[in-house]
A and B are shown apart, each in its own frame.
Chain A
Amino acid sequence: MCHLAQEQDGWLRPEAMAEIGELCEVTAAEVQGTASFYDMLHLEPVGTYVLSVCTNIACMLGGALELLGHAESALGVRAGGTTTDGVFTLHEAECLADCDKTVCVQVNHRYVGAQTPESFDALLDDLRAGRLADTVPPHGTLVRVRRSTGLQADRAAVAAERAAMAEAQAARATAADGGHKA
């Protein structure tokens, strides 16, 4: 649900977290506490393009710290910052699991192949000119392929499973109570 809210707004607005809380019957603070645990959920506005530069071991061996330094000066922001025009957010990422193509960079979580300082500058130009619009959707949009069908397993079987689940949980609760009293 946080992914959905982020797809709508590009980041997690307080109003969205409050609404998720209502739907899930938890407090907005619990939603925020959960969201803040995860790297991909942003509690503050981010740029249209979030550039994730991996600096973990395999990429570091391939010159990632140097690339991150280049990116910081090219964009005029430190890692974690957003450019004043609101187009780019630079993010120092942990391993993005594409380690045979170092230095690994993702834009809005789409791989853009191995990067060097020179190719990084070209990447920024391409993004500014909208040349990658087909492959890189705006930040927040994660999965563009929707589920095309609902759950199809036999309703009766699911109901029986749920009943058995409730029974087992009740039995465990009783056992736990019994243990407590004893």
Chain B
Amino acid sequence: MAITDAPRIMTSRLGDDDSYTMERYLATGGYTALRKAFTMRPEAVGAEVDAASLLGRGGAGFPAGRKWSMMRKNPVTYLVVNGDESEPATFKDHMLIERDPHQILEGVLISAYALQVSQAFIYVRGEFALGLERLQQALNEAYDHGAVGADIFGSGFSLDVVVHPGAGAYICGEETAMLESLEGKRGFPRIKPPFFPAAIGIYGEPTVVNNVETMANIPWIINNGGAAFAALGQGRSTGTRLFALAGHVRKPGNYEIEMVKTTFRDLIYAPVLGGGIRGSNTLKAFIPGGVSAPWFGPDQVGLPLGQDEVGDAGSMLGSGSVVVMDSATCMVRAAWRITKFFSRESCGQCTPCREGSGWLERIMFRIEHGDGREEDLDLLMDLCDNISPGVAWPPQQTTICVLGPSIPSSIASGIRMFRDEFLVHVKEGGCPFD
């Protein structure tokens, strides 16, 4: 089967220039899934998503249907949708919000009906000014169309949706930090367990939190059935997924791909996808799932794009972003820049993350700029071990949220795979790539 044979579940409209308008959405089957959902009982809608085995697309990969069914015991008050996409080199939600906002809204409406909530929030990263405008415009149109508000399509079901802009903080992608931010506070992640958002979410009420990409899958699942979705992919990784390909490839971009059936090799080299490495260089390393994930080398390009397959190999699919680095890339500089990012974005609550990230960044900086010492390599690993004991994958955690254990990934990968390159920086007193 060719890579391009899988149905386009989330990206079917993106070829049209006016893909974000109500007109185009209605002309291409928009809001039919919502009407269909209203002919079903709310539990049946939830069962369909359960049958799809749709794994949450936010990064952690928890089954969305199971998250919902856990809520059946406790009535849920709010649905919050996470559109704070900030994981470096991830740009799929940005595209979905800007290019097909109605699809997200329809997913939110169906999900709210399944959960029987009357208030939903969509938290969108503040830097997405155009996306925020398109989504607000779509929401206004949907209210006028009777698809949102009181007594939607005469079904008796009512829902209000609020679009909320973030204000620039990576940590607000963490679900409890996002809820804090939505409440108008600093984005400090909450301590959990014992109380996950399902028990105490926004304004102290039971809350379901889902990702934007998860929502974008819901209309297709209701129109085509959970079984059709589950028939795509393999094992626990069902359906298609958006992969954000960036770095040294000829054709970077977002690609919707059937899970597991495609490999990293296909994604990077296939002419219809990444198109191979830029220029005449070769692949040196790639990051398989956002900068929080440990790196892979060229010998691992044969791995399928599946959650468990990548997990078993010692990394994660995470946010679905794949960063390709070619043979002219300085790995010390790459790891330094990623560490600098974490240092800047640490919220500052937990000591290992707040202090550790800053120390690591400074040591990486001095190695890259020729002031490193040979013993710095052990020092780096020792600091990583203090943030995430054992520096293993999946990581141990000493902090409130998973930002902490994400910090060591790039440095530990760099030292493990490219130790010699670090040593050359130290011995030659500078970066050999300058």
Interface residues of A (CB under 8 A from B): 1-3, 24, 33-35, 37-41, 52, 55-58, 60-61, 94-100, 102, 106, 108-111, 142-149, 151-154, 157-158, 161, 165, 168-169, 172
Contacts and interface: CB of A to CB of B under 8 A. Distances in A.
A94 B246 contact: no
Chain A interface mostly helix, strand, loop or mixed? loop
B86 A157 contact: no
A60 B337 contact: yes
Contact of A152 (B89, B143, B170, B333): B143
Interface of B: 77, 85-91, 93-94, 118-119, 125-130, 132-133, 136-137, 139-140, 143-144, 149-150, 158-160, 163, 165-170, 184-187, 203-205, 244-248, 252-254, 287, 291, 321, 323, 325, 329, 333-334, 337-338, 341, 344-345, 347
A40 B168 contact: yes
Contacts of B245: 100
Between B86, B203, B246, B337, the greatest number of chain A beta carbons within 10 A of the residue's beta carbon is seen for B246
Contact of B345 (A94, A97, A142, A153): A94
B167 A3 contact: yes
A158 B247 contact: no
Contacts of A60: 333-334, 337
A161 to B, nearest CB: 6
Nearest to A146: B136
A152 B150 contact: yes
Given A34-B184, A61-B325, A111 B130 contact: yes
16 contacts: A3-B167, A38-B126, A38-B167, A40-B166, A56-B88, A56-B89, A57-B287, A57-B291, A57-B337, A57-B338, A100-B91, A142-B132, A147-B139, A152-B143, A153-B149, A154-B150
Across the A-B interface, give the 4 residue pairs with the lowest CB-CB distance, nearest first: A39-B168, A40-B168, A38-B167, A152-B149
A108 B323 CA distance: 27
B132 A143 contact: yes
A26 to B, nearest CB: 9
B104 to A, nearest CB: 16
A174 B119 CA distance: 27
Given A3-B165, A56-B88, A57-B323, A99 B204 contact: no
B86 A143 contact: no
Contact of B252 (A38, A100, A147): A100
Given A143-B165, A165-B203, A98 B130 contact: no
Nearest to A6: B167
A39 to B, nearest CB: 3
A121 B184 CA distance: 38
A24 B184 contact: yes
Contacts of B321: 99
Given A61-B329, A100-B253, A161-B77, A153 B158 contact: yes
B127 A96 contact: yes
Contact of A95 (B86, B166, B204, B333): B86
Given A34-B186, A94-B341, A100-B252, A151 B136 contact: no
Contacts of B87: 95
Given A97-B128, A142-B132, A153 B159 contact: yes
Contacts of B88: 56-58, 94-95, 99
